[in-house]
Structure 1
Amino acid sequence: MPPTLGALLRTPKLRLRLLTGQEGLHRRVEWVAVSELTDPTPYLAGGELVLTTGVGWVEDPRDLRDYVRRLAERDIAGLGFGADVVFDHTPDELRAAAEEFGVTLVEVAKETPFIAVGKEVSRLLAQEEYEGLTRAFAAQRELARAALRGAGAVVERLARELDGWVLLLEPDGSVRHAAPARAAEHARRSAAELPRLRGAGPRAGVSVISGDEHVALQSLAIGRRVRGFLAVGSRRGFGSHDRTLVNAAVSLLSLELERPTTEGGSGITPGVVAALFDGALDPAHAGAAALRRALPDEPVVVAAVQGPPPEGPFPDGVLITDAGDVPSADPATGTLLLASAENLDRLPEVFDELFDGGAGLSGPVSYAELAVARAQAERALAVSVDEGRGPVRSGDLPGGLLGLLETPAGARLADDLLAPLDRQRNAAELLASLRAYLAASGRWDAAAERLGVHRHTLRYRMKRIRELLPGDLDDPDHRTELWISLRVRQGRARP
């Protein structure tokens, strides 16, 4: 059940009574804000249910109209007035102002503490999040099962889960699969956006609104070559769980389109290998069982080589790709290799046989840690090139993991991750707020005190940060990456 005003009014224990704004009962309540300020709007983000007893109006109730007008302009969900506390009834001036500005006004019984309303909203939000996650996990499992039957089954399942239409387009914009079948009529309109995607890179996406319909288009690519496009349309728009589902479909379809059409070799295309190094493909994904069987056994090591990839054939158990196909790779790296740690002693022979120039080796890692291993290998490569010696192992370098912070690759990754905040006019304010929030482990009061601002101001800034950043701030891995990126910035600022 979503936390709407109507849902709160239907909760008997809260004893809420609607005074004005029947048409606003569908409004979603993002949070509950208790405030006795005569102007609480600087501390509101919009969508709150504001609760007050009217202490600030005792001396001059004539300000009630301006008070409600400011709240309406802030787009609050509703206003709750605590009766029989300061005023023996809800002031008529307040009711009139609420009707004038279209603000839903409810009366909170004296027996109902404001904190009870806040707890109920928190409970409904948690329940909605849990139900959404449960649906999303179930939908992702169904998508993975559909992938076993091919790209067409994935398209059909995605359309069913989103209650919309889905198109799988060829690189030239022609329709490969459509669900439902009549969705093919949207192909021409979607094709008009494809030039923008082609010019934006292999993992570009675009969202458009056409009439009352929301449309999202995403390039399908593992390496640098775009294999097709996914177009998704829905009249209800896309929530966070919908976007997660679309992203899962993009990964599955990209992998499906990368399947080799010829026999022989490992059965893994260069684009798939590049995606592994770039973190765009997770071998642990439910739909990647065949890929896991073809990959070297864990733990694995990554090697970064200065020279370009040689012509095959390559040694058994060693996967090689052009580093230029990996968008986040260090420009100084020419080739990336992946091998089981059991074959670590054989890699120097591979370098001598196939490559000229420097080389760097990571420590043994799992596939979930390939990004870290690649950074280790690139750092070792830099030392190998600078000192003009043979292959260098990252474990022999000083500094360990924290030493990666001082490399150009680490600085570039940090800049890429924080770029959405850097582009804002108040970038310094947002970055400082993010640093304080992470340093305080998400504790609002401690973070706000560190910044010297009100906690509601910090909540507003963090809401904006969540909107800008591509990852989920509730994900420990993403929070760790952000913290390390901020540490990289801090390190570069030191003399």
Structure 2
Amino acid sequence: MPPTLGGLVRTPSLGLRPLTGGEGLDRRVEWVAVSELTDPTPYLAGGELLLTTGVRWVDSPPDLRAYVRRLARRDIAGLGFGVGVALERTPDELREAAAEFGVVLLEVERATPFIAVGKEVSRLLAKEEYEGLSRAFTAQRDLTRAALSGAGAIVDRLARDLGARVLLLSADGSLAHAAPTGADRHPTDLTEGLDRLKTAGPRASMAITVGDEHVWAQPLATGRRVRGFLVVGAGGRLGPEQRTLVNAAVSLLSLELERDAHGDVARLGEGVLVALLTGALDPTRPGAERLAAALPPAPVVVAVADEVGAPHPPHGILTAGHEGRALLLAGADTAVPTIADLLDGPIGVSDPVDHTGLPVALAQAERAREAARAQGGGTVRAAELPGGLLGLTDTPAGVGLAEDLLAPLLAERSHGELIASLRAYLAASGRWDAAADALGVHRHTLRYRMRRIRDLLPVDLDDPDARAELWIALRLHAAHG
């Protein structure tokens, strides 16, 4: 809420009393100025609440009528006179002059320091700025969401937020979309101006007044080539928040028209594709219908490799580079040889999933790529790998961790006996007789070996988590030994 004279009067702590100009209390206060000069107007910008105590008026009374006339011409918001400092009451001449020239005159009681009035105006201005930024942020977020449904949705949303008439024009000046309904009037005075905008550069703009309507036009372009124009018609000048929103719409519409001009709506930007695969963007969220339509039809597969081999994949296949890897999204009916032609390096391919399972598919493809790298290259599908939790650990990294865990045993000369004893002990859930029978040794022999194992391993064999890790490590060691 902006600071006004009425708002300050209604602040009990300030104790301001209006003496004249009650109808002007809705006047906005831009700042507070304190001056005892007989002519402070050279130091005023207009819109200030001027505060004075009249300390110089005691010995040399000024022409108060001329004083107030100068302030009125400077278009101040109001005049505040502090009583009880130099004068015990507000001079009648000052009150009469304020009434004559339409200046709001406020009386400031002795107990109210001028700095308190300044602080209150400063607080209200900061609050207004914060509220404006919050509204602008929300509006820009809604505008970006509207972009998922196309250029028309951007125009509709902008018109709603501005409370204005918005036109989207093609590069030749013809109407492509208008909002709100029935707002498709095309100002004839724009035609010549649009031709100038085409050659003036993407940052140029123009403004005209048609009757009571203020009209702005800006070109839509991502380079030097203009793809269209955005026209906004409003009943008054746009404020900073509204101009920020228009600039955001210009950027979104420029990207939209540039993408449509290349005729490849199905190809998403690399950042969007990465956001889909990592789960940062949900293609099923309300309002994302256009995004989902741009994806290959479900079911889809995800492939991961070192590099993209073909710079221009066929229609319906999306590629991106991210964190030193190449990512690919294609329909599940796309043959593996086709994917192999598009990607370089060991390739991992996920199981078929719907659009909600893209992050899971990415994890599967990553694991399959590690398996392909371990076997020296080629293409590996996730379906060819061991399943379950054990399968998730069956990667070069998992095997390496297993070998590190078992390293103290493997370094022993009798490591074969120790490994076999540990496996039998874990398989028998710690039952000595059952484990010893499985090994074909006396239980005292097994006890001796297990004491040695306990001394060598950096884990507690009585901890169920440690037993589970050791069992998986033994399984991986056996599979890759």
Question: If the length of structure 1 is used for normalisation, what is the TM-score?
Answer: 0.53
Q: 2:220–2:253: 8 Å Cα contact kept in structure 1?
A: yes
Q: 2-side partners of 1:141 and 1:267: how far apart?
A: 20
Q: 2-side partners of 1:192 and 1:10: how far apart?
A: 52
Counterpart position of 1:262? 263
Provide closer, same or farther for how the CA distance between residues 251 and 165 of structure 1 changes in structure 2, counting only shifts above 3 A.
same
Is 1:11 the equivalent of 2:5?
no
Amino acid at match of 2:134: T
Alignment of 1:9-408 (within 5 A): 9-260=9-260, 261-263=262-264, 316=311
CA drift of 1:199 comes to 3.8
Q: 1:190–1:231: 8 Å Cα contact kept in structure 2?
A: no
Q: 2:171–2:227: 8 Å Cα contact kept in structure 1?
A: yes
If you compute each CA radius of gyration, which structure gives the higher value, 1 or 2? 2
Provide closer, same or farther for how the CA distance between residues 227 and 185 of structure 1 changes in structure 2, counting only shifts above 3 A.
same
Q: SS of the counterpart of 1:80?
A: strand
Provide closer, same or farther for how the CA distance between residues 91 and 202 of structure 1 changes in structure 2, counting only shifts above 3 A.
same
Amino acid at match of 2:25: L
Q: 2-side partners of 1:262 and 1:204: how far apart?
A: 27
Provide closer, same or farther for how the CA distance between residues 211 and 27 of structure 1 changes in structure 2, counting only shifts above 3 A.
farther
CA deviations over 1:100-143 (Å, ceiling 9, x no partner): 22211111111211111111101111111111111100000000
Q: 2-side partners of 1:38 and 1:5: how far apart?
A: 23
Amino acid at match of 2:66: D
Q: 2:259–2:265: 8 Å Cα contact kept in structure 1?
A: no
Counterpart position of 1:297? none
Amino acid at match of 2:235: R
Provide closer, same or farther for how the CA distance between residues 107 and 186 of structure 1 changes in structure 2, counting only shifts above 3 A.
farther
Q: 1-side partners of 2:223 and 2:205: how far apart?
A: 16
Segments of structure 1 that go 5 or more residues without pairing to the other structure are 270-286, 294-313, 318-338, 344-495
Q: 1-side partners of 2:128 and 2:265: how far apart?
A: 49
Q: 2-side partners of 1:159 and 1:111: how far apart?
A: 49
Q: 1:203–1:221: 8 Å Cα contact kept in structure 2?
A: no
CA deviations over 1:466-492 (Å, ceiling 9, x no partner): xxxxxxxxxxxxxxxxxxxxxxxxxxx
Q: 1:29–1:49: 8 Å Cα contact kept in structure 2?
A: yes
Provide closer, same or farther for how the CA distance between residues 10 and 265 of structure 1 changes in structure 2, counting only shifts above 3 A.
closer
Q: 2-side partners of 1:74 and 1:315: how far apart?
A: 69
Amino acid at match of 1:121: V
Amino acid at match of 2:224: R
Identity %: 65
Q: 1-side partners of 2:137 and 2:266: how far apart?
A: 34
Q: 2-side partners of 1:85 and 1:264: how far apart?
A: 73
CA drift of 1:190 comes to 3.7
CA drift of 1:268 comes to 7.2
Segments of structure 2 that go 5 or more residues without pairing to the other structure are 271-287, 296-308, 313-320, 326-481
Q: 1:175–1:187: 8 Å Cα contact kept in structure 2?
A: no
Q: SS of the counterpart of 1:45?
A: coil
Structural RMSD (CA): 3.3
Q: 1:259–1:268: 8 Å Cα contact kept in structure 2?
A: no
Q: 1-side partners of 2:195 and 2:60: how far apart?
A: 61
Amino acid at match of 2:219: S
Counterpart position of 1:434? none
Provide closer, same or farther for how the CA distance between residues 225 and 250 of structure 1 changes in structure 2, counting only shifts above 3 A.
same
Provide closer, same or farther for how the CA distance between residues 124 and 265 of structure 1 changes in structure 2, counting only shifts above 3 A.
closer
CA deviations over 1:252-311 (Å, ceiling 9, x no partner): 000000004435997779xxxxxxxxxxxxxxxxx9x99xx9xxxxxxxxxxxxxxxxxx
Q: 2-side partners of 1:35 and 1:132: how far apart?
A: 31
Q: 1-side partners of 2:224 and 2:244: how far apart?
A: 23
Q: 2:166–2:231: 8 Å Cα contact kept in structure 1?
A: yes
Q: 1-side partners of 2:144 and 2:58: how far apart?
A: 62
CA drift of 1:38 comes to 1.6
Provide closer, same or farther for how the CA distance between residues 116 and 252 of structure 1 changes in structure 2, counting only shifts above 3 A.
same
Amino acid at match of 1:33: A
Q: 2:38–2:62: 8 Å Cα contact kept in structure 1?
A: no
Pairs aligned (count): 288
Q: 2-side partners of 1:17 and 1:37: how far apart?
A: 23
CA deviations over 1:423-456 (Å, ceiling 9, x no partner): xxxxxxxxxxxxxxxxxxxxxxxxxxxxxxxxxx
Q: 1-side partners of 2:72 and 2:122: how far apart?
A: 23
